[in-house]
Structures are given as C-alpha cells and as structure tokens.
Amino acid sequence: MTDLILKKGKERSLLRRHPWVYDTAVQKLTGKAVSGDTVRVCSYDGRFLAWAAYSKDSTLRARCWSFDESEQIDALWIEKKIKKALIARQSLFARTSAVRVIFGEADQLPGLVVDRYGDWFVTQFQAAGVEAFRDVIADVLMSVPGIKGIFDRSDAATRHREGLAERVELLRGQEPPQEIEVVEDGVRYGVDVRKGHKTGFYIDQRENRFLAQRLAREFKARTGRGMRALNCFCYTGGFSLALLAGGADEVISVDSSAEALAMAARNAARNGFDDSKAKWVQADVFEYLRKAREAGETFDLVILDPPKFASSHRHIDRAARAYKDINLNGLRLVTPGGDLLTFSCSGAMDVDLFQKVIAGAVIDSKREAWMIARLGAGADHPLMMTCPEGEYLKGLQLTLR
C-alpha cells in the first residue's frame, strides 16, 4: 500500500473529517500509485488520517473513502456503502419514482451519483476512485429488485479534471425508453436520461415543487380562484406542472430552449392538464421580465430557478449582478400577498451571499417582503456536516407585502 504524505499542518482538515486532499497539501507519495488506486493518507509525521482514492491529474489529488484505519476498501466495502445508501432513501419511494440514491461524498462514495428513475438507474462516475470500482458498483446496482437496466451519463466536466473520458452508454441490462415516466407527488414527468440536464431531471427540487403545489392549492382555498403564476427557466416544466396540479389557473413558463419547452408541453399533456392554462414561452428571461413589467403584468407567484450563474469563485461578482437583476425584476411582478420562490444552484455562492443579493433586490424594488423559508435540496441530497461544499442548491421563499 502506498502512503500519501501530507505537508505539515495539512492534516488539520482531515482530522475534522473533511474528505478532500488538494494537490497543494501533498508532500509526497512513498511508492507508486495510478489514478483510482486506494492510498493511505498520512500526516507529515506518519500518522494515519484516511483511506482515499488517488487521482494523479486532478487538483483534488485524493478523495477519502474512510477515516477508519481498520476498514479495507474493497468490493465488499463498496457493496455495503451502496446498500446503506439505498436503505436511507427507501421511504421516499412512497412519494416518487425519481430519487437520488447515491450522492457522492455524503454516501462515502466520493464522485459517484446514482439516480433512480422508475426501473432504471442512471450513473455518473465523476472521480477516478469510483471509476475503478465501476463493475462492482454496476453489479450491486443491477441486483436491486425490479431494476431493468443502468444507463451511464458520465459526461460531467469533472471527468476531464480526473483524466477520464466522457462516456454516455448503457452500462447493464436493457436500454431505457426514450423518455422514462416518473410520478412525483401525483404528477407525471417524462425524463430523457440520454440528453436531459444532469441525469435527466432536477430531482433536487422535489420539496420545492411540492411547496409550489401546496401554495397553488392554498391560494385557491383562500381566494376561490386559481393563481396566475410565472415560472422562469422552466426547463421540462417541473414547477409548472406542480402548480397546475395544485389548481393554478394560468401558468406562464419561460425558457430559452425550444427542446425543453416541447418536452414540458408533452409533460403537461401526460397529466391531462387543460392546454389553455399552460403557456410555454421561448424567450430570454432577463428580457422577458423587463417586458412583462413594461406591460404591467402581475402574478400571484413568481419562480426563478436559473442555471448556475457562477461556475467558480472567480465569477461571483458577475453572477451576483445577474441574480440581482432577475430577482429585482421578478419581485416587481408579484402582487401584494403573493410569493417569490427564488433559487441559486451555484456552489460558489453561499447561502449568506445569496440572501444578501436578494435583500439588495428587495431594497431596490421598494417593496416590503418577508422571508418565509430557506429552501434547499431534498433528503436524498444530504449534506455531510464535515463538507459544507456539498451545499449547492439554495432558495428563499419570500412573501411580498
């Protein structure tokens, strides 16, 4: 076994069970190791710190499997972690057939994402360590009762940094249909696991879709009419369909992608929703919001769930301006008593900064707003307490006064 020896002082984060070793923390390797090999991470004075997967080309030089010296990282260990992850998600299947069953570091399988859509698993191997155990992982997943196949969507940019080529192919079993139908809180969605974003669907927004559905239902109970809502960056209609299921009367959904909008419309049809209640608009949200304001439009609910504006800390200022712009213009469209659900999935922007940006938008809008709730990803995307970097999705529910 090769030792990966850290520079003096660099053991501190690992002693606090943070699972990443950066290249700058490494003193030396005692022997040979190729990417994907398990190494023994030690402090400068030779104390055991962790078992980790080595990745020779990545600035994330090693990702920890375990901080327990007595453990042996082998096929059986991997199998145990997968089974533990599956058990932790079991209760969610009562509500939905779209669940993230493995979420990397939080499940002690750094770099591995596995989503279940109906009878298929979709995998993303984003690090050399899990890549080396690919067959073991596939075998264990394939043994889950009811599973027809595993589709691999290992096309994330992180693979390049790990020296791994992109791979999009059937890994085991049967080819999935062009669109897998999933049902979440009573709403049907088609998921294109080959070409859709991430593994095909924003599973992480489940609780917030449910909130949207509830807000639409409560609005109707309170006012006797269905709400008028605006869903910006709608993609395949996640929030739009939840709102229609909750009894919204009119949902305008905006996205720049014609393909996403076509799929969203198909998803609405899948649920038998009244065509006249859903409008699918192909436009740039920044421009759309400005024009809607000039036209004097108002909505009982506005949702802003944009793509990642900041891909790294270097882009944080520009991203903050973009978030402020859409939130300022979004806020201005909300009727008094109505809500804004606003999100950011930029990992580089933390919760505090996001909240400050939104507060700035509220001030500039000259509106009064309450913060009702902080929002985030669902229980199948747990956050490891020792690795706050795992928190990427954050949101706020504001009620306009």
| Residue number with CB closer to ligand SAH (108 or 205) | 205
Which is closer to ligand SAH, CB of 262 or CB of 371?
262
Told to check if 285 binds ligand SAH by CB under 6 A, we report yes
Counting residues that bind ligand SAH (by CB under 6 A) gives 20
Q: Is 327 in the site for ligand SAH (CB under 6 A)?
A: no
Is residue 305 within the footprint of ligand SAH (CB under 6 A)? yes
Q: Does 337 engage in binding with ligand SAH (CB under 6 A)?
A: no
Binds ligand SAH (CB under 6 A): choice among 107, 162, 255, 380: 255
- Nearest distance, CB of residue 285 and ligand SAH, angstroms: 4
Q: How many CA atoms lie within 13 A of 298 on its CB side?
A: 8
Q: How far is the CB of 394 from ligand SAH (least distance, A)?
A: 14
Q: Quick one: which segment of 141-149, 178-186, 251-259, 377-385 binds ligand SAH (CB under 6 A)?
A: 251-259
Binding-site member from 233, 323, 354, 392 for ligand SAH (CB under 6 A) = 233
Smallest distance from ligand SAH to CB 243, Å: 12
Burial 148-182 (b: 16+ CB within 10 A, else e): bbbbbbbebeebeebebeebeeebbbeebeebbeb
Cβ-based nearer residue to ligand SAH, 25 or 234: 234
262 binds ligand SAH (CB under 6 A): no
Q: Show the binding pattern over residues 187-206: x = contacts ligand SAH (CB under 6 A), - = does not.
A: ----------x----x--x-
Cα–Cα nearest to 66, from 31, 36, 38: 38
345 included as an active-site residue: yes
Please tell me whether residue 256 binds ligand SAH under the rule CB under 6 A.
yes
- Among positions 26-65, residues that touch ligand SAH (CB under 6 A) are none
The strand pairing partners of 51, in sequence order, are 40, 66
Residue among 39 and 348 whose Cβ is closer to ligand SAH: 348
**Site mask, ligand SAH, residues 131-170, x = CB under 6 A?**
----------------------------------------
Between 65 and 117, whose beta carbon lies closer to ligand SAH?
A: 117
Answer yes or no whether residue 2 interacts with ligand SAH by CB under 6 A: no
- 311 binding ligand SAH? (CB under 6 A): no
Please identify which of the residues 42, 232, 234, 345 carries the catalytic annotation. Answer: 345
Where does this chain bind ligand SAH (CB under 6 A)? 197, 202, 205, 233-236, 238-239, 254-257, 260, 284-286, 305-307
Active site residues: 345
